[in-house]
Amino acid sequence: MQSLILKAFGGTTSHSTRLSKDDTQVAGYVRAQPNRIGRMLFACAVIIVAFLFAPAPAKAEYGDVVINNYSDTAGMRPVVFPHWFHRIRFRCKVCHADLGFKFKAGGNDINMYKIIEGKFCGACHNGKVAWSVKNCILCHSGKPGTPIQIHESTMQELAVPTNPLTSKK
């Protein structure tokens, strides 16, 4: 196995019956150092693996709701609620009628006590329907200090005129 690894990364082995004093001979084989190209290939492979398994930064998508009623004051990151992820799985009435969510970002007095009691998000995030509240960073993934908002919402775009010539002065 060792000789396969050395060959893959540019090193070689050769058979020898002499024992060396500098620990370059193991069980009858002399280890040669991998060449420069082999070391570079190995370094590139390590970098590629690091990028594949490194956690990506949390990114909000269009329609995500930032909930920061109590997070900053509690020393937690704000919640980034993936609205469209939930919307493609459930009809609007499930959350907005059955669970009591208002149709306004920041319009709900959501806190962890209520969620643990099974209200709001806790109706599903109970460990049975969806993951439980024990893994905080799955929801609390926003940048600290981010205000309550709908990310990239059309309401925000409509609040600022797109054409200054048509806006009233």
Q: How confident is the model over 68-93, as pLDDT tens digits? A: 999 999 999 999 999 988 999 999 99
**pLDDT of residue 126 exceeding 90:** yes
Predicted local confidence at residue 61, as pLDDT: 73
**pLDDT of residue 116 exceeding 70:** yes
Predicted local confidence at residue 105, as pLDDT: 85
**pLDDT of residue 63 exceeding 70:** yes
pTM of the entire predicted model: 0.55
- The residue count of the chain comes to 169
**pLDDT of residue 169 exceeding 50:** no
